[in-house]
Amino acid sequence: MSITDRSNSPVPAQASPRQASPPQAVVAILRAPTAHHFIRASSVLWDAGIRCFEFTLTSEGATDAVSAFRELQPEAIVGVGTVRTVDQLAVAQAAGAAFAVSQMFLPRLVVRAHELGMPFVPGALTPTEIVTAWESGVSLVKVSPIGPVGGVTYLNELRGPLPDIALMPTGGVTLKSAGAYLSAGAAAVGVSGAVFGDALVTGDLTGLADRAAQLNSLLAGV
């Protein structure tokens, strides 16, 4: 699946995690009270074959963790999530973030991200919100939280009337459903708690490598 040409959009097209990642990419989303265990956990996923990471800004120390992991794994695609202000975009970019994601659509974030030359993915949930975000010129729209509103069934219902819009479902995505979202036409999929469990809070990485390997195995045939 290729991202639709956005040449006629009011905001010029930008890259996205989907465009910067292997086809049908998985984005590992890291969220915890602090980013203390982000580097170790991301390293486990990197070794398991995961290449795209989103460190959420609600986690204390997230931007420092972005810089540290980029230094450790220069080829990793590391961005930030839960962006709410234009200042956060500049700080994230300075830290080395390759892209930014938000839980909502705020036009000022789209404009500022474009000014910075920073790939930006806004969040939406309803068809109206999704179309509004897409028409701002972005190349990918996050649909979240998708799990509580129907999961893959909901994505199928969206894809019918909105086949041209590149969507990244997140929120309640399980290891088993990740491949189903991609098969249903998602451009990318964000996975968080299903792969990390409580590892990001406790620092206990037991089982993380196995879950990451299971995720890759389930996606192998997609």
Cα 52 to the center of its chain, rounded Å: 8
Res 220: pLDDT: 78
Per-residue pLDDT, 13: 42
User: Is 135 a catalytic site residue?
Assistant: no
132-to-28, 75, 122 alpha-carbon distances in Å: 26, 33, 10
Residue 175 identity (one-letter amino acid):
L
Looking at residue 35, its pLDDT comes to: 98
**Active-site choice (115, 142, 157, 176):** 142
Catalytic residue among 54, 60, 71, 115: 54
pLDDT (0 to 100) of residue 217: 82
Active-site residue 54, yes or no? yes
- With a cut of 70, which residues of the chain have pLDDT below it? 1-24, 221
Domains detected in the chain: 17-219 (3.20.20.70)
